[in-house]
A and B are shown apart, each in its own frame.
Chain A
């Protein structure tokens, strides 16, 4: 299968990465195993500043593991993974905290703190990471970000009172409120109806324009990929097997790549 699909020119990627400044994430030959199960195999990629990169792949191919390695939630076994030019594995606790304050992560389940209201969820990182104590400033930021995700009335609701789509929006608001330079989306449209999925995908696009963030979007939803992607990587069995824009890949005559685009 891997030989059949288009090979990614890793040398070209490396050369691009070596050129430096415009790549906010550089991954070279990263490998990760859980016991005997090798999830990532010699994986290489870069994320350019300001772009939306979609990683498309079947479930269980290592997509989520890839982005969890980028924020130090999982430790990779081999290779090089740099975020803002810093090797993630070698960061101290304080350096990791500093790095994470510039990277937003939207979990598949949105991961809202269910014992807190929406307002408390949004204020949580502001008080603890940016150390903002002024209530007027907190209120201003919370109101602003809720308006940008289209949910200004949800401010005093508990997460249990929100629908799946609303939870995703609040989850997105909680990460965007920190004004990250990089956003990592872990299957942002999974479990949502097609209309809400489209709204979330468009919201991801507008976040890119409004906040000038560089994003990696993990998905197997082709409609989401079409709306959000500037560039796409297709992943299979722990490595990238194809790269291109949505249009380029959708015209591929490779059977495996085409299987993602068939409705």
Chain B
């Protein structure tokens, strides 16, 4: 399936229709009794554990850089003591969920797209189907569910490591007690900050898994299409993440969070 961004209007609607049909297949197979636990746990390991170093380093650097960048301005206004609060809220509510989701789109969605795309090219998916097995249940449901669970967990880890990065950044110019820093940071965070961000990342996880699976599963037969599937999975998943974020912000504002 070619990249949707190069399609004329008719093809965009066709692509949207195909995505809806594929989503229907996912939900239909989600509730079938013979759940693939073994493959699901393997995917959680591949998607979650294998992404941990990248996510932790990114989270640390985000916290570190935000603190270094904002410190001179805060100092000019005599508001240095607000740095832990500012960093905590911005990391939890917006920066970590979106940045980690975009990183996961690059790493996970493209990986799924390429893996399923190459399975399609080498007729492995057809072989599963012809044998009477259910490739959607085995390949698609497990991967999307693993993303739904692992992306929020990775974001929480990035939040925590981001606090540590912020503390390290602040300690470059002045000596701050870790107890004081983390007390200030955690006291400023409310349940209302954490909950919408957490729910948002569940949808990000779904978008990352779904787009990766859709692009890979429906790729064409040539080897070139594996690259196209991986590339368009990243582009489309990133776009979905930005759109979901925009909707989530409007929704949380309307609900008063």
Known contacts: A97-B132, A128-B134, A129-B132. The answer to whether A107 contacts B34 by CB under 8 A is no
CB distance from A173 to the nearest CB of B (A): 12
Q: Mark B143-163, 1 if CB is under 8 A from A, else 0.
A: 000000000000000000000
Q: Mark B15-48, 1 if CB is under 8 A from A, else 0.
A: 0000000000000000000100000000000000
What is the CA–CA distance of A100 and B128 in the complex, to the nearest angstrom? 10
Indicate whether A244 reaches chain B with its CB closer than 8 angstroms: no
Instruction: Evaluate contact between A178 and B130: CB separation under 8 angstroms.
Output: no
Indicate whether B224 reaches chain A with its CB closer than 8 angstroms: no
CB distance from B115 to the nearest CB of A (A): 8
Instruction: Evaluate contact between B124 and A113: CB separation under 8 angstroms.
Output: yes
Indicate whether B171 reaches chain A with its CB closer than 8 angstroms: no
Indicate whether B131 reaches chain A with its CB closer than 8 angstroms: yes
Q: Mark B109-136, 1 if CB is under 8 A from A, else 0.
A: 0000000000100111011111111100
Chain B residues positioned under 8 Å from A174 (CB to CB): 127, 131
Known contacts: A111-B127, A128-B34. The answer to whether A101 contacts B122 by CB under 8 A is no
- Smallest Cβ-Cβ distance to B127: which chain A residue: A111
What is the CA–CA distance of A175 and B122 in the complex, to the nearest angstrom? 17
**Which residue of the partner chain, among A73, A105, A112, A129, contacts B124 with CB atoms under 8 Å?**
A112
Q: Mark A139-176, 1 if CB is under 8 A from B, else 0.
A: 00000000000000000000000000000000000110
Q: Please report the total number of B residues contacting A with Cβ < 8 Å.
A: 15
Instruction: Evaluate contact between B122 and A125: CB separation under 8 angstroms.
Output: no
Instruction: Evaluate contact between B123 and A178: CB separation under 8 angstroms.
Output: no
Instruction: Evaluate contact between A125 and B126: CB separation under 8 angstroms.
Output: no
Instruction: Evaluate contact between B133 and A125: CB separation under 8 angstroms.
Output: yes
Instruction: Evaluate contact between A124 and B122: CB separation under 8 angstroms.
Output: no
Within 8 A of A (CB), among B144-195: none
**Which residue of the partner chain, among A97, A107, A112, contacts B126 with CB atoms under 8 Å?**
A107
CB distance from B215 to the nearest CB of A (A): 19
Chain B residues positioned under 8 Å from A100 (CB to CB): 129-132
Q: Which of B34, B123, B132 has the most CB of A within 10 A?
A: B132
- Smallest Cβ-Cβ distance to A101: which chain B residue: B132
Q: Mark A23-34, 1 if CB is under 8 A from B, else 0.
A: 000000000000
- Smallest Cβ-Cβ distance to A96: which chain B residue: B132
What is the CA–CA distance of A111 and B134 in the complex, to the nearest angstrom? 16
Indicate whether A71 reaches chain B with its CB closer than 8 angstroms: yes
Indicate whether A36 reaches chain B with its CB closer than 8 angstroms: no
Q: Mark A170-190, 1 if CB is under 8 A from B, else 0.
A: 000011001000000000000
Indicate whether A81 reaches chain B with its CB closer than 8 angstroms: no
17 further A-B pairs in the complex, CB-CB below 8 A; given A100-B130, A124-B128:
A98-B132, A101-B132, A105-B130, A107-B123, A107-B126, A111-B123, A111-B126, A111-B127, A113-B124, A113-B127, A113-B128, A128-B34, A128-B131, A128-B133, A128-B134, A174-B131, A178-B132
Q: List 18 A-B contacts (CB under 8 A).
A: A73-B130, A100-B131, A101-B131, A101-B132, A107-B126, A107-B127, A108-B123, A111-B123, A113-B124, A124-B128, A124-B133, A125-B131, A125-B132, A129-B133, A174-B127, A174-B131, A175-B131, A178-B132
Residues of B with Cβ closer than 8 Å to A?
34, 119, 122-124, 126-134, 138
Residues of A with Cβ closer than 8 Å to B?
71, 73, 97-98, 100-101, 103, 105, 107-109, 111-114, 124-125, 128-129, 174-175, 178
The 10 closest A-B pairs by CB, nearest first: A111-B127, A101-B132, A111-B123, A100-B132, A129-B132, A125-B131, A105-B130, A128-B133, A107-B123, A97-B132
